Amino acid sequence: MNRLRDLLSGREMSIVGVLVAVVAVTTAVNPGFLSPQGVHDLFLNASIIALLVIGQTLLVITRNIDLSVGSVMGLTAFLSGQLFISSPGTPVILVLLAGMALGAVCGAFNGALVAIAKVPALVVTLGTLYVFRGVNYGWASATDTHQVNADQMSPDFLAFGSGSVFGIPNLSLIALAMLVLVGYALHNWRSGRELYAIGSNPQAARLAGIPAGRRVFTAFVISGALVGLAGVLHASYFGTINASVGTGKELAVVAAVVVGGVAIFGGSGSVLGAVLGALLLTTITSALPILGVPAFWQRAVDGAALLLAISMDRAVMLRMAERLRRERNAKAGPPPADTPSGSERSVPRA
């Protein structure tokens, strides 16, 4: 009963409620929004951002962040196109593994600077955001391939991106599998629980013998691999790639994570809530044109959602701190009234 009450009062259920309200209002304006094809497209669009969000959650839990996810996604998507240009018969599984490997290398670079060199993640990933994007543009210029089109890719690769199993898109199945795997690891593996300990109190975690540097480095590598997978799936689904793929994704990813209840200050949150946050923001983005909202407001919605979620989390933390302070004072009780002060104690006479 207590578990059910906690679930119903959690951030996840609040997101579901807002999501239902957005869908209901949009469907009332345009009934086609909830058509089978509309739902199919909505989940497809949310699946790619969900992979980015799952990896970002691992980092935010540890009080870190990765602002280079959009650039890494673009780099791995461009790699997919280049593999088919150089070798048209490249197997799909090899392209997926190559993209994940490149993403993991980028994550390892970020993680080494953060965990080993002790440079703040915000500074590191803000720099690599431009470094990786510059590498992507340089690669495109060096190969004189500013855009890769669908006719240059394998039909099997494109079919994989648009395919489905029992009506469920392949991309959504992959995102769901990653959600289950990472969610299980966070709550059941020792290394996953240690990420929460690092985010709650890094100094205490180190004193407790937790290898904080190694755990943070691993989180960056796993996050990078998931971003690489998202880049390959983006190429497979859309079929057109250029050096600007993924530009601006970092804001949407961070907003989805925070809206999903993962504390920006680390130590709490769930990967399920983060994915629900991604689904909510994707739904809002799809609903805005139907509701007649100009396209330039779509990015503003992500920013407003991020600010609102951080403000709410901060308010909750302050309220909890105040409650804990009152409870400690209540347990301690008032000082004894008859205890004399130092100046009032009698001094024995000689």
Q: How much of the chain is helix, strand and coil, in % rounded to 5?
A: 75, 0, 25
pLDDT at 7: 45
pLDDT, averaged in runs of 10, over the chain (350 residues): 49 86 91 84 90 96 95 95 89 95 97 94 96 94 86 91 88 95 94 94 91 96 97 93 89 90 87 93 88 75 76 71 77 62 48
Q: How many helices (H) and strands (E) does the chain have?
A: 14, 4
The angle subtended at Cα 149 by Cα 148 and Cα 154, nearest 5°, is: 100
pLDDT at 114: 96
Round to whole Å and give the CA distance between 309 and 307.
Answer: 6
For 59, the enclosing helix (H) or strand (E) is: helix 36-61
Round to whole Å and give the CA distance between 41 and 35.
Answer: 10
State how far the alpha carbon of 264 is from the alpha carbons of 20, 57, 188, in Å: 25, 10, 22
Give tens-digit pLDDT for 265-297: 888 889 999 999 999 999 988 888 888 877 677
pLDDT at 310: 76
Contact call for residues 122 and 228 (beta carbons, < 8 A): no
Q: Domains in the chain, ordered, with CATH?
A: 28-326 (1.10.3470)
The angle subtended at Cα 104 by Cα 100 and Cα 105, nearest 5°, is: 120
Give tens-digit pLDDT for 26-65: 999 888 888 888 888 888 889 999 999 999 999 999 999 9
